[in-house]
Structure 1
Amino acid sequence: MTIIILDRHPGGPPPYADWLADAGEDLVLITNHPATDVDGYAEVRYIPDHGSSAELAVLELAATTTVSALVATATPDLVRAGALRDHLGIEGQGRAAATVLADPVAMRQRLRAAGVPTIPAGAVQRVSDLYWYRHRWGGGPVRVRRRKDPGWPTAAILRDERDLRAFTANGLTPNLITVPSLLVEPDLAGSRHVVHGSTQDGRKLVRDALSALPCGPELPYRVEILRAETGAWLVDTVDSAVATDHRAVVREQAGLPSREVTRWAS
Structure 2
Amino acid sequence: MSIDAHQHYWDPARGDYGWLTPEMKPLYRVFDPDDLAPLRQTTDVRRTVVVQAAPTIDETRYLLNLARKEDSIAGMVGWVPLDSPDAPAIIDKFVHDPKFKGVRPMLQDLPDDTWIEHAPLEKAIERLIDLDLAFDALIFARHIPSLIRFAERYPKLRVVIDHGAKPPIRNGIEKGWQPWADGIAQLAKLPQNHLYCKLSGLVTESAQEQNQQYDENLKPYVKHLLEQFGPQRLMWGSDWPVVNLNGSYTDWHASAKRLTSHLEKADQDAIFGANARAFYRL
User: What TM-score comes out, normalization by structure 1 length?
Assistant: 0.31
Compare relative contact order (CA 8 Å, sep 6+) and give the higher one, 1 or 2: 2
Higher strand share: 1
Higher helix share: 2
Larger Rg, first or second structure (1 or 2): 1
